[in-house]
Amino acid sequence: MSTSALLLALLGDARLPSGGHTQSAGLEPALRAGMTPDQVPAYLRARLRTVTRVEAGAAVVARAVAAGGGDLAEVEAAWAARTPSQALRANGRRLGRGYLRVLQTLWPGPVDARARTWSRPVVLGLLAHRAGMDAADVARLVGYDDVQTVTAALLKLEPQDPLLVAAWVKDLLPDVDAMATQVSCLCTPEEIPAHGAPLIERWAETHDTTTERLFSA
């Protein structure tokens, strides 16, 4: 097994203290809006084609830009332009601060003073460059983390047979891998995908003002 694959296992572990446990990846507001648990696999496939693909593409590009000594603020601006929901942008930057702690603890080194304002995919791209993780694996990490975040949240919001949910994750792995392969060759901010998900964005905005909730997003 390559070092990159082992890093994927480390960073994809839900026990990593990056703040991911506070998230449902939009599932909580989706369920409030009427989505049923059996629709979760379709919801995840929709995310992999849209918001997750944008994040994975941004992480891959951030890795390439960091490797070339470029300005990651340009990647952040490109990600933000493709994330129209203010709630999703704010949440992405909260998660970015969590991963920045991971980066500074496990792979310490100089970090741009603006890094605390960067989103999760941009920080992950910098982390991937510093840790020696390859482009496809950082994209797989984003996709796998999204799937696991949603399914873990489902077990808290609408308890299911955990093995059934694990089977959903297994069935989605080819979709995660296909998405990662598609974005792994991206190098510049202009190449980051721009696939919208208006319903997910609307749910995020509604959830942001909800007072009684289990997850922050």
For residue 43, what are the domain limits? Answer: 23-205
Q: Give the CATH number, domain containing residue 131.
A: 1.10.4190
At residue 189's C-alpha, the angle toward residues 185 and 195, to 5°, is 80
Give the integer Cα–Cα distance in Å for 147 and 80: 22
Per residue in 2-41, pLDDT (tens digit) is 577 888 889 988 788 887 778 898 999 999 999 999 999 9
Short-list 143, 165, 144, CA closest to 153: 165
- Residue 36, in any domain of the structure: yes
- Residue 84, in any domain of the structure: yes
Give the integer Cα–Cα distance in Å for 125 and 147: 19
Residue with tokens 């941004």: 58
Per residue in 154-196, pLDDT (tens digit) is 999 999 999 999 999 999 999 999 999 999 999 999 999 999 8
Radius of gyration of the chain from Cα atoms? Answer: 16
User: If you write DSSP's letter for every residue of 86-140 in order, what string do you get?
Assistant: HHHHHHHHHHHHHHHHHHHHHS-----GGGGG--HHHHHHHHHHHHT--HHHHHH
Are 191 and 61 a contacting pair, CB within 8 Å? yes
- Residue 6, in any domain of the structure: no
Coil, helix or strand at residue 57: helix
- Residue 72, in any domain of the structure: yes
- Residue 66, in any domain of the structure: yes
- Residue 159, in any domain of the structure: yes
Per residue in 62-71, pLDDT (tens digit) is 999 999 999 9
- Residue 185, in any domain of the structure: yes
> How many domains does the chain divide into?
1
- Residue 174, in any domain of the structure: yes
Model-level pTM?
A: 0.94
Tokens at 73, concatenated: 């603020």
